[in-house]
Amino acid sequence: MPKGPTKRRPQTTARLLDAALETFAERGFYGASIEEICERAGFTRGAFYSNFRNKEALFFALFDLHARRVVDRLAHAVDELEDTEDPVRTVLTRMSALDEAEHRWYLLSTEFTLHAIRHPDTARTLAEHDRLLREEIVHLLGRLFDRLGRRPTVDLDSLARLTAAVHEGSLAQSLVEPERLAPEELAVTYLPLLIDAVSEPSSPRDAAG
């Protein structure tokens, strides 16, 4: 039978993560202090350090939570492909969705990426978390091509990197000029053309048809 503190640990971790995301959104990664995060969560510094080594570890826990939400959202979109008239647009629109949580995450992750570029050890850790997320995206891209009846002619890992670059770059431009550019506009306009360009019908019969 687990002891009380062991059973409470997931709740403590969840509250610290919620408080961290709110504090990072308000103060930025550098501006947010561990003391402020603990105060917002209602815990002591001791509770923080029993769960996380430092702010970087806290960020990577938030990264993994966000990655899981992204994968789940895209997997659900791929599952719905047969029920939509424009399946590629459906997936890309889901990928580019920008609610308040996504807005806050974009600001935090962009700032942290700059931090990682300046610190090689942190960059290596970030690259590993990116790699794990990209593996999930590669799997979903494979499912997407299968549902479309097409076979990729390029490396899916590179394609996942490119789609992520388009997504992040589009989001940045949309946040700067929200009245001129919707978050999904560039992706839904140009990525379908790219998908056709880097794939072919799955069988000669499809090509002949």
Look up residue 96 and give its amino acid.
S
Per-residue pLDDT, averaged over 187-201, amounts to 92
52: exposed, middle or buried (Cβ count in 10 Å: 0-12, 13-18, 19+): buried
pTM score, whole prediction = 0.85
The residues facing 200 across adjacent strands are: 151
Tokens of 152: 């990729």
Please give the residue range of the domain that contains residue 47. 1-52
First to last CA, the chain: 63
Domain identity same for 58 and 22: no
Domain identity same for 196 and 174: yes
Question: Which pLDDT score, from 0 to 100, does residue 156 have?
Answer: 97
pLDDT digits (tens, 9 = 90+) for 115-128: 999 999 999 999 99
Average pLDDT of the chain is 88
Domain identity same for 184 and 150: yes
- pLDDT grade for 204, boundaries at 50, 70 and 90: low
Neighbours of 141 (CB within 10 A): 22
Query: What's the number of CA atoms in the CB half-sphere (13 Å) around residue 31?
Result: 10
pLDDT digits (tens, 9 = 90+) for 13-36: 999 999 999 999 889 999 999 999
Domain identity same for 3 and 90: no
Query: In the chain, what percentage of residues exceed pLDDT 70?
Result: 92
Residue 102 has pLDDT above 90, yes or no: no
Count of domains for the chain? 2
Query: What is the pairing mode between strands 199-201 and 150-152?
Result: antiparallel
Question: Which pLDDT score, from 0 to 100, does residue 34 have?
Answer: 95
- For residue 42, being part of any structural domain is answered with yes
Given a contact cutoff of 8 angstroms between Cβ atoms, the answer to whether 92 and 184 are in contact is: yes
The CA angle 145-149-155, to the nearest 5 degrees, is 35
